[in-house]
Structure 1
Amino acid sequence: MNKAVLGISALGLALAASAGTAFAAPDWSKVPSRKVIVFYPGPANLEWIMNGTQHGGAKGLKKGEACIGCHEDEKTRNVDIASDKILKGEKLEPKPVTGRVPTIPVTVQAANDGTNLYLRFSWKDAGGGAEKMDKDNPVKLAVMLEDNKVTAKDTRGATVQIGRAGGCWGTCHADVRTMPGGNDKKTKYVIGGSLASGNYYDLMQWQSGKGGKGVDGYVADKRVMEGGKALVKAEGKKDGDTWVVTFTRKLAGGDGDIALASGKSYNLGFAIHNDHAAGRFHHVSFGYTLGIDTKADISAAK
């Protein structure tokens, strides 16, 4: 074999190796983690949290404060939410819900390699015993990303950047399905939502049923569970008593995908449907910032 062929072969091997490492998941044992508590919110919807007579935190939202500024302890990361009372029907929930835990601690990790964003969520199985609403999926985990454009108005007409302050609460309304008195045919939505204006949430979901499935969609004027192009892979498994779910997502985006750039931060919220839960009967996070190579609540560094 001549030197030219050897050179081309060596170059090909080098390119193949670099391509392989570019899409390799990070060594999660070396990636910093952030504790996030997801909690049972009951029917607490966007209209409720924006109403100052019902929710004292509405004043803070109007000032631009994030929910975690009031509800999350900076040292322990525990949250001050009466989910136990909500489950018992003592607050918000019209009737008691049995067989569900108030909160679930989740370990969140993030990284990027210049091409892809990697997200990892792990938590101890929370047990069950509640009604099996979604018989096909013991567990689902959904992540929403937002680019500082989704807003909401309080009862006095003041504008609040709800994507930053409250995460995916910008999609949760009193009139959607499974809410008390809601429309069974109405999904999550963003008020005035549209892809063209950027007023939407990017949505990824992992479903545990039937061998596991990844969903790449968005929430604008309605929720769409398909059409996204950024999701490369969604995987999950139960390892002993611990669930581990990972997402691999391109930084670049298409229709319905938030394009992620190094040096910028975005808003992130996620929800876990535990023990065959469906609709609003999930555990949700508050809103957190996700930084791509920059400081944030959750940072995805190279």
Structure 2
Amino acid sequence: MSKRAMAAMELKRAAGAAGLGLLCMLAANPAAAAAPADWNKVPATSVTLFYPGVAAMEWITKGTEHGGARALRKGDACADCHSEETAKMGQLIVSGQKLEPAPIAGKAGSIPVQVRAAHDGDTLYLRFSWKQPKPAGGARMDDKNPVKIAFMLDAGKVEGAGQSGCWASCHADSRTMPGAADTKKKYVKNGSLASGVFYDLVQWRSGEKKGYDGYVADARVMEGGKALVAAEGKLDGDTWTVTFARKFAGGEGDVTLAPGQVYNFGFAIHDDHAAGRFHQVSLGYKLGIDTKADVVASKQ
């Protein structure tokens, strides 16, 4: 056999091996194969996250402190009143003028985020994109992770989640709040996995390059869920893009998703090595699977 023929055979064999390897990779990670091929064709929802300071659930429901407490008691959502002024609120709080006893000089008061959602009938895909704010230059609370992003889902069981998003897990006695015990984690009122009263919590950490699938019930737990398939992020210039792939059904602490249903939805970014309450958060929104909502995941 000529050298040219032998070389051709080797190339064919290598191509076959590469193809088999690709098929094996897709079989092992079917979510990667079914994600939207072009995310730019998926409609984006603009959500401005803001710095909340010490505005815990107890504060937003106290009429003598928060003017919107009466509206909340009537059933109005936080976003009904504040969705257009989140950047202004964040700047007011981060500066220390209100609700922040320990302001961090130079910290961003808000972060505009583009949110895209899609699904393939079996897996939900969420993509978050935002420009990296200028670093404040303060102490690194989480030295391992320059950025963390997390989202939470509720199936209508957590009291207050329909109006406030993640706020029902933010309490004045949780750690990093003034005077709180360092051992007190996030929790929800009457939280119970057995009763279905919990937030489904998913997080990605930039330094660890790892996703976490947990929940918040009577306490926050960062593992145990079975729905998360993949969580990936990258910084391109000054723009972060983080994508999650999550099965509709999972295990303990995973909210089961279904087409035609709407779920309470909120998310947060820990920027500039932040930890605890020193993050930027969204108000409460609705995530719909093939149905009208603030953020809609349509089948691709």
Alignment of 1:261-280 (within 5 A): 261-280=258-277
Report how far residue 181 of structure 1 moved.
0.8
Match of 2:58 among 47, 70, 76: 47
What is the CA–CA distance in structure 2 between the aligned matches of 1:101 and 1:130, rounded to whole Å?
Answer: 12
Task: Kindly report which structure 2 residues correspond to 1:129-278, keeping only aligned pairs within 5 A, or say none.
Answer: 129-151=137-159, 162-210=160-208, 212-278=209-275
Partner of residue 156, structure 1: none
Distance 1:105 1:277 in 2: 17
Contact in 1 for aligned 2:191/2:197 (Cα 8 Å): yes
Output the CA distance in 2 between the equivalents of 1:169 and 1:22.
32
Question: Which residue identity lines up with residue 80 of structure 2 in the other structure?
Answer: G
What's 1:59 paired with? 70
Q: In the alignment, what sits opposite 1:30?
A: 41
Shift of 1:137: 0.2
Report if aligned partners of 2:214, 2:221 keep a CA contact under 8 Å in 1.
yes
The answer for unaligned runs of 5 or more in structure 2 is 1-19
The alpha carbon displacement at 1:88 in A equals 2.1
Q: What TM-score do the two structures reach when normalised by structure 2?
A: 0.87
Q: Following the alignment from structure 2 to structure 1, what is the Cα–Cα distance between the partners of residues 88 and 72?
A: 17
Q: Deviations over 1:141-188 (max 9, x none)?
A: 01100111111xxxxxxxxxx111100001000001000011110110
* Letter in structure 2 aligned against 1:300: A
- The corresponding residue for 2:129 is 122
**Could you tell me how far 1:56 is from its partner in structure 2?**
0.8
Relative distance call for 1:61 and 1:241 in structure 2 (3 A) is same
CA contact (8 A) 2:50 2:87 kept: no
CA contact (8 A) 1:253 1:260 kept: no
1:259 and 1:21, CA in 2 relative to 1: closer, same or farther beyond 3 A? closer
Contact 2:87/2:110 (<8 A) preserved: no
CA contact (8 A) 1:137 1:209 kept: yes
CA contact (8 A) 2:31 2:123 kept: no
Q: TM-score, normalised on structure 1?
A: 0.87
- The CA deviation at 1:99 is 2.4
Separation in structure 2 between the aligned mates of residue 246 and residue 95 of structure 1, nearest angstrom: 33
Whole-angstrom distance in 2 between the partners of 1:21 and 1:105: 28
Offset of residue 22 of structure 1: 8.3
CA distance in 2, matches of 1:69, 1:171: 20
Corresponding residue for residue 103 of structure 1: 110
Distance 1:291 1:125 in 2: 28
Give the count of matched residue pairs. Answer: 273
Tell me: CA distance 1:247–1:21, structure 2 relative to 1, closer, same or farther (3 Å): closer
2:232–2:243 Cα contact (<8 Å) kept: yes
Change (3 A) 1:96 1:68: same
Are the aligned partners of 1:104 and 1:283 in contact in 2 as well (CA < 8 Å)?
yes
C-alpha deviation, 1:80, in angstroms: 6.0
Counterpart amino acid of residue 25 in structure 1: A
- Gapped regions of structure 1 (runs ≥ 5): 1-12, 152-161
| In 2, Cα distance between equivalents of 1:23 and 1:292 | 20
Q: Which has the higher helix share?
A: 2
Question: Which of the two has higher C-alpha Rg?
Answer: 2
Compare 24-33 and 241-250 and name the one that shifted more: 24-33
